[in-house]
Amino acid sequence: MRYIVKFLSAIYELVIALPLFICTTTFCALFTLVTIHWSDSKWVHAVQVWWARSFCRLFLCRVTIDGQQNLDKNQSYVFVSNHQSLADVFVVYGWLPVNFKWIMKKELRKIPLVGVACEAAGHIFLDRKSRASAIKSIRAAEKTLQNGISVVIFPEGTRTETGEVGRFKRGAFQIAFDLELPMVPLSLSGCRDVQKKGEVIVNLFKHVHMHIGEPVQTKGAEQDITIEQIREKVIEGIRENK
């Protein structure tokens, strides 16, 4: 019976879910490129939210969230999330209730159509191998942080291979300290069950939870202590939702 379920799941993914997701991705990218220069950015963000949620629905992933009451819609934040899986992107994009930009590694710029659309939408590509380029990207990101626009970072730099939260790289936090913006820990649970690093197949019928922690103020704070504090809050949020 188990093998029959796996076979039917694979057929569903290849014949239905994947082709439909490719179509929604293409539509979202084209919509962004065509409308970004004359439409309200909120419309572009709304379509991108729809795209992210479509992934979770197509692959039968149930998403729950708590902690929305910790956010002020008029405040800009730096959201700090653990990174378990590619599914993290869809969960955060689809259910984080604010307008935000990603800070992502520059290699993602090479994804056909999607990379160009992300750049047009104002997402920030970070060159981790060039300090000068990274600083330039951070300065560009700082200019977007106004009127409630936030940014989301994965300070581990890459997806976890073990499920444990890795070391947070200090450079990813520079924006928050430069602008004295509050940082908000995001704790993602269950994303690794959807798809582990290195896997191609998406596992169906999984439950993912996102916990939005309370903002941590950076004004006058000591950087190393605050970064470690944020990491502990992310880990604590994961433990509470296992």
pLDDT tens string 193-235? 999 888 888 999 999 999 999 999 998 888 888 999 999 999 9
Domain boundaries, the chain: 62-240
Burial of 160 (0-12, 13-18, 19+ CB in 10 A): middle
The lowest-confidence range among 46-50, 155-159, 227-231 is: 155-159
The dihedral built from the CA positions of residue 105, 111, 114 and 115, taken in this order, carries a sign that is positive
CB 124 within 8 A of CB 137: yes
Q: Which CATH architecture best describes the domain 62-240?
A: 3-Layer(aba) Sandwich (3.40)
CA distances 2 to 93, 200, 233, Å, are 33, 20, 38
Average pLDDT (178-197) is 92
pLDDT value at position 132?
A: 63
Nearest-angstrom CA–CA distance, 82 and 186: 7
Average pLDDT (106-116) is 86
CB 208 within 8 A of CB 81: no
In degrees, to the nearest 5, what angle opens at C-alpha 89 toward C-alphas 233 and 192?
70
The lowest-confidence range among 4-8, 53-57, 86-90 is: 4-8
Beta bridge partners of 151: 78, 101
For 85-234, list the strands marked E by DSSP.
Answer: 100-105, 124-126, 150-153, 183-189, 207-212
pLDDT value at position 110?
A: 87
CB 144 within 8 A of CB 151: yes
Q: What does DSSP assign to residue 216?
A: B
34 Rama class: left (phi>0) / alpha (psi -120 to 50) / beta: alpha
Other C-beta atoms lying within 10 Å of the C-beta of residue 135: 14
Beta bridge partners of 185: 80
57 Rama class: left (phi>0) / alpha (psi -120 to 50) / beta: alpha
Average pLDDT (113-117) is 88
